[in-house]
Amino acid sequence: KFLSSALFEIKEKWIPCIQYELCYYAMEENGDEPAFRELPTDSGSLGQLWGMRPAFRAVWMLDSHRPYRTVNAGGDGPVIIQPRGNPSDFVGMRTIRPVLDCMESAGELTLDQCDQIRKQPTPIHRVLEMNRRGEVDPCRLGAAVEMCYPEFEQLFAREKRGRELVILHAGDYTTEFVSPLQTAAGESGVSCQMETCTASITEKAIGLLLNTNIRMVLLVIGPQALHHRHWSNLDYEFPVRNEKLLLPILLYPQGGRDRMVRVLQQRAPVLCSLPREEIQMEGRGVSRERLKEIMQKVMTDEQRDFQEMLGRIMSRLDERDVRLLLRVWSARTGGSKSRSDGRPARLLPRMWSALTGKGRSPDIKTPDDLLQAMMREGYITPGDLGELEKDMVAAGISFPVIVRDIPGVPDELQHPKTAVASIGPTGGEVEIPGFAKLTVPPGALQHDTTVTVSTLDVPGILRGPEGVSWTSGYPWSLDDAACPRELLDKVLFSPAVDVNLHGARLSGPVELQTWRPPGSEGMTCLLLKHYDGEGWMDITASTPHHIDSDVVSVSMLSFSPLSILWTPVKKVVEVGKMMVAALSSRTLNCWFSSYVHSDKDPRDVEFHVVCRDQQVKTDEYVQGFSRCGRNDARFDLYHGDMIEVSVSVREGQNRSDQMELRAAHCCDVTGQNVQMWLQRPDGKGFKGEVVIRTLRERTVCQFVFKERDYDPTNPVYESRASHDQHHKEAATDLSASPHKNLPTGTEAQPSGHGKQDSHPRSADPHQTVATARASSTGALTSPHPDVSIGSGRTQVLLINDEYTTTKGGVSTINYQLAQLLTHAGAAVC
């Protein structure tokens, strides 16, 4: 073996004149180590010293010429594309000695096979010989070339490298540097392991890098790593030249750098020439900032971008949000059972100390601390935000609100999730993976039906203007009716789900299944359901449901948005009433109208689209504007919903703008608006269409608009506008039963854009009672000018002390009684 190696050295290393010469002109202090003398590097000096002609050096010696590159075009299997032109003219790769060294060290080639390959006249022929004989795995050969000659790696078949990082060390500074570096890697989301080298560092590094699951080796070079036992005199030069695969880290004691660099240059000149990190060890651990700097250099662009994205996500949490999220995460990672005090039974001591504030030195205080802990425990893996999203939902933190404007976050995470399927009489399933599943048994649907299942961002509905958690909006508009905030911090959430059957009716119950939040053991489940036009109600007692260790299943016969939350057993009633009131205050039963400014500009016109809640009973707007269109929303909206308002002018331009709904603004007299400038196509009045959609392309409202007269002072326009407004208000106040049964003599006005739900809005008898007034003669007068009380209609005077609070008591019965009488055609006062 030695003779073969020596002959190979003469041909491949000494004749090409590598920059170092082995000389035994001096001995080190231990008496058994050779010293290396560095030779001059400029070609003139080399030519004078060695007598090499320029033509010889141009063929054999390394220079700065760029190799001729080609591409791997693929094929049926791994292939090696030959360089274009004559291989003998391909002078870029002048030796494959390091590649053969790697293959032999890894056991891929025997010494005899290496000798056979070396007989080929050129390096390219030797590579082709390896491939032709089939004695080498092409991907292993490609990995070896990637290490030794990265500029030629595109010529060889290679497997894609994994994400693993390896810290290779010889036992130096394990406590002060190696272990903290592994911890820093975990906090950065990089999978990392440690390897201790007891023999040849060269062979160990080669063996690790030939494993394509390993992306990079961090070679820690301390005083012990430079001991001669790690560097054999018969080893070829250190073969790894790819700085993307190997990062040397030189650790030296104070005053010892120069000597260690000199010894490293003697042991492995190529390794010494690679870019490296140098750290002076001062008897204490390396700072976290320095460790982070090293990790930033070894992370891929993808990992770096993901780390930056996570930092932005966590930076939007305040101290209370961190506690809420930490509680859920601790329950998930530390144990599944809960004790009577709400503490998870097997909660990690460090996490519980940070959560409760008990203990001498809590580890987790800031969002950055929490992020590092999650990354260190492997809870968050690069590119995967799934577990973090689930735990934020469970803690009552709006994940879509947090990530909506952060670059790099997938679009499906920025909005509520949706799944659609067609289900017929044979039954089927619709599932949002990881969140909810709807199971429809055979016979529940009589016809093929499109079923849509989507999640509902309840924390986004209840949050405050600057916060991201549901409690940041506390106390909403409830004041004294709100629970203590400390109690709300104990509430957990399952995903809120909305199921839409698009008008179809069920013949039997279906099952909705979702997950149970970590840490909810020993807590009581509350089911809150929303009905369009009627508000939120607690349906826990009236709805069959089943709770398992990690799943909750609800059996239902009709669908509206369903919120599932978990609360301490003794506070169920208190929390339930408060949640119904809070959600109702943030739910919007909207109507939209458009207004045009009556100025005399023949070209441009100021156009507003206004959103109001139905509790606003007036069309009055800013002075100078007149209404030109109106319609109700098809379904209820929520505080925080993003909608897109699109305006299309006939024979004119199209404009659109987005608006985030605010409950307080929509309940104001002037509403919440979108403003834009439009052009009159003919310089006169114009008309067109307004369409309001959610960002998921669901149509909220649609109506047409028309500017009746350009001159607002025209008395015909004023008279016509007043008549239209009076007629619309009368029709709205007299809207009757779900079957549109109006009083005798009143014509039903068709509407193609009304509410599309299973709970149509009826006339509010409370408004009738409130607006009825007694005349000076003692007779009752109707609030509706078109209807005369006593003209053939039954008159009912309803006297009560509680009315229309919709909480399930006497007031609700009185409200329903008034509705029933109104639907039957009576005049209720």
Residue 42 pLDDT greater than 90, yes or no:
no
Region 451-480 average pLDDT: 86
Reported as a single tens digit per residue, the pLDDT across 540-578 is 998 999 998 889 999 988 888 999 999 998 888 888 888
Model pLDDT, residue 716? 35
Q: What gap in Å lies between CA 693 and CA 646, rounded to an integer?
A: 8
Radius of gyration of the chain (CA): 39
The set of residues, in sequence order, having a beta carbon less than 8 Å from that of 753 and lying 6+ positions away, is 631, 632, 634, 701, 702, 703
Model pLDDT, residue 156? 73
Tokens standing for residue 667: 């309940």
Model pLDDT, residue 714? 46
Residue 67 pLDDT greater than 90, yes or no:
no
Residue 436 banded pLDDT, cuts 50, 70, 90: very high
Q: What gap in Å lies between CA 284 and CA 175, rounded to an integer?
A: 9
Residue 748 pLDDT greater than 50, yes or no:
no
Residue 462 pLDDT greater than 60, yes or no:
yes
CA dihedral sign of residues 171, 172, 174, 175: positive
Q: What gap in Å lies between CA 487 and CA 565, rounded to an integer?
A: 13
More confident residue, 350 or 672: 672
pTM above the 0.85 mark?
no
Region 660-678 average pLDDT: 90
More confident residue, 293 or 13: 293
Reported as a single tens digit per residue, the pLDDT across 683-717 is 667 788 999 998 777 899 999 998 865 554 444 33
Residue 438 banded pLDDT, cuts 50, 70, 90: very high
More confident residue, 339 or 383: 383
More confident residue, 664 or 752: 664
Give kind and range of the element (H or E) at residue 666.
Answer: helix 663-666
Residue 477 pLDDT greater than 50, yes or no:
yes
Average the pLDDT over each of 22-31, 105-114, 541-550 and give the range with the smallest value: 22-31
Tokens standing for residue 107: 């056991």
More confident residue, 435 or 3: 435
Model pLDDT, residue 527? 93
Residue 80 pLDDT greater than 80, yes or no:
no
Model pLDDT, residue 683? 61
Q: What gap in Å lies between CA 159 and CA 436, rounded to an integer?
A: 38
Reported as a single tens digit per residue, the pLDDT across 134-157 is 667 778 888 888 888 887 777 777
Q: What gap in Å lies between CA 33 and CA 27, rounded to an integer?
A: 6
How many angstroms separate the Cα of 499 from the Cα of each of 452, 493, 530?
6, 18, 12
CA dihedral sign of residues 463, 467, 468, 471: negative
Question: Percentage of the chain with pLDDT > 90?
Answer: 21
More confident residue, 293 or 21: 293
Reported as a single tens digit per residue, the pLDDT across 231-245 is 866 555 788 888 889
Residue 673 pLDDT greater than 90, yes or no:
yes
Residue 800 banded pLDDT, cuts 50, 70, 90: confident
| Maximum Cα interatomic distance, the chain, rounded to a whole number of Å | 131
The candidate with the shortest Cα–Cα distance to 236, out of 457, 407, 6, 429, is 6
Model pLDDT, residue 88? 44
Region 381-403 average pLDDT: 88
Q: What gap in Å lies between CA 485 and CA 575, rounded to an integer?
A: 11
Q: How far is CA 739 from the centre of its chain?
A: 45
Model pLDDT, residue 5? 65
Model pLDDT, residue 623? 85
